[in-house]
Each structure stands twice: as structure tokens, then as C-alpha cells.
């Protein structure tokens, strides 16, 4: 990122039965500095376990609070 350009983290999450593939076209648009703006996004798109192309975590009952903790730690 160039000097004077701010990087803003942006967490994108897919829903069921989706995958990170839903965001492939949008990511380049979000990470490129647009004319007249002084920021770009640092895009974070996790593939949630058990959805899309990710395997199910069989050793742990991957509940909502596990997902929340995982996403909190990513950001």
C-alpha cells in the first residue's frame, strides 16, 4: 500500500450453502485504491468449517460461539 493510503480491514462472510467463491469478483474491486479515495480494504474471507469447500470439524461440535471466537481472532 502506498504512503498516505489507509488500509481498512473488511470481513466478508458467506452464508449457507455458499462459499468464498461468492466474493471472487468483488475482492479485486475492494482491494484496489479508487480515484478520489485515500483507503483500500484488506479483505478477509474465511471459508467457514463445514461450508462450501471446507471440511466439517468432526472432533468438536462447532457451535455458533466457536465460529464467533474464530472470526474474532482472525480480525
pLDDT of residue 69: 77
- The verdict on residue 34 lying in a domain is yes
Alpha-carbon span 75 to 73, nearest angstrom: 5
Dihedral angle computed from the Cα positions of residues 14, 20, 26 and 29, in that order, rounded to the nearest 10 degrees: 120
pLDDT of residue 73: 76
Q: How many domains does the chain have?
A: 1
Question: Using one digit for the tens of pLDDT, what is the confidence trace for 15-64?
Answer: 777 788 889 999 999 999 888 888 999 999 887 776 666 766 666 655 66
Is 35 inside any structural domain? Answer: yes
Q: Residue 33 belongs to what domain range?
A: 6-74
User: Which residues, listed in sequence order, are joined to residue 42 by a DSSP beta bridge?
Assistant: 9
pLDDT at 16: 72
- Output the pLDDT for position 39: 92
Sheet strands (E) in 1-75? 6-11, 39-44
**Left (φ > 0), alpha (ψ -120 to 50) or beta: where does 8 sit?**
beta
- Of 54 and 9, the structure prediction assigns the larger pLDDT to 9
Q: Say if pTM beats, i.e. exceeds, 0.85.
A: no
Amino acid at each position: 500500500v502506498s504512503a498516505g493510503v489507509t488500509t481498512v480491514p473488511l470481513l466478508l462472510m458467506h452464508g449457507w450453502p455458499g462459499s468464498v467463491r461468492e466474493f471472487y469478483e468483488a475482492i479485486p474491486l475492494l482491494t484496489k485504491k479508487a480515484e478520489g479515495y485515500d483507503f483500500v480494504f484488506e479483505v478477509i474471507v474465511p471459508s467457514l468449517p463445514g461450508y462450501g469447500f471446507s471440511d466439517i470439524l468432526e472432533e468438536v461440535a462447532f457451535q455458533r460461539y466457536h465460529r464467533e471466537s474464530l472470526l474474532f481472532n482472525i480480525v
